[in-house]
Structure 1
Amino acid sequence: MENKYEQISLKPGFMKHNGGLLFRNISETEYEFKSTINENHLNAAGITHGGYIAALIDAGAGTSAHRSANGAPCVTISLDLKFIGASKTNDEIIGRTKILKKTNTLIFLFCELFCNDKIIASASGIWKILKVKQSNFGPGG
């Protein structure tokens, strides 16, 4: 059974403004996301801007961390990027994230971005799981 991509950029904000992000769960430790490069994502050289690549990885890998943390909010602690290849307008970019380790407070992951089956970027990251205070208005409260 193939998991379908869902649009996760529903609220106004940076990623919705920049075309949105489609996301799907592959397993408990593997996730995929994708986006299509628009003209406004390009740099002066006519290829996808590194800042957009970084934002795409941060959003996709961050959503992976969030999902692996059972929906708890997560924030990026560190993100180490390697720019390997290029992409251009109308290219579909696919990100693949693998959760390497999860503790009670941290998630360690690795992410690769592909365009036309070629790797264009990779990243290692650490996300902090934020503990949300429980409300007194839950079931039975």
Structure 2
Amino acid sequence: MKKHHTLPAKKQVGSMSDISIPEGFRKYHSPKRFPEKIGPLYFKKEDEDLYRFGFFADETHCNANGIIHGGMMMSFMDETLGQMVWRATGRKPCATISLNFDFVSSAKPGEWLEMKGHITRQGVSVVFIRGELYAGDRIVLTADGIWKVLGR
């Protein structure tokens, strides 16, 4: 059984009173950058090359139908898959060339969403990556992307 710790929720209208972040995850800091606008986002270092990323979905991430906005999930995947590519290239600047998504199911406020990704092919100037976004054991979204290593 995974241990969770509780953190105070964001102080925004419509946020949960308590949120449960899985043990070992730390807040992903990107001061004055886009990830701060969609977060908070979290990460956990598994080993030297493996990171896990997640976020607690709350009402601020919802669309008009009361489910987590597709744009939120796509932005999260672009950011976190890009982080994986950046680390895999030795922290060289990279940019998304192509990123394709398939929505498999919906996510709801109150769920912990976690990305699992892996590099499928890495060349000198281009990296191919695949990721899945989960709510528990349920796949919510899959993504296939290509990143360009800049300056090559």
TM value normalised by structure 2: 0.78
Cα distance change of structure 1 residues 38 and 115 upon mapping to structure 2, 3 Å threshold:
same
TM value normalised by structure 1: 0.83
Structure ranking higher on relative contact order (CA contacts 8 Å, 6+ apart) = 1
Residues 1:97 and 2:146 are matched in the alignment: no
Residues 1:46 and 2:66 are matched in the alignment: yes
Which residue identity does 2:110 align to in structure 1?
N
Q: How does 1:1-141 map to 2 (within 5 A)?
A: 4-26=24-46, 30-131=50-151
Q: Deviations for 1:96-141, whole angstroms, at most 9, x for unmatched residues?
A: 0101111111110000000021000001000011128xxxxxxxxx
Aligned residues: 130
Structure 1 unaligned residues grouped into runs of 5+ = 133-141
Structure 2 unaligned residues grouped into runs of 5+ = 1-23
The Cα shift of 1:27 comes to 5.4
Contact (CA 8 Å) 2:43, 2:51: kept in 1 or not?
A: yes
Which residue identity does 1:114 align to in structure 2?
Y
What's the secondary structure of 1:90's corresponding residue? Answer: coil
Equivalent pairs: percent with the same residue? 30
Q: Deviations for 1:32-62, whole angstroms, at most 9, x for unmatched residues?
A: 2101112111011100011001001001101
Q: Which has the larger displacement, 16-25 or 66-75?
A: 16-25
- Once superposed, what is the RMSD of the aligned Cα atoms? 2.0
Which residue identity does 1:123 align to in structure 2?
A
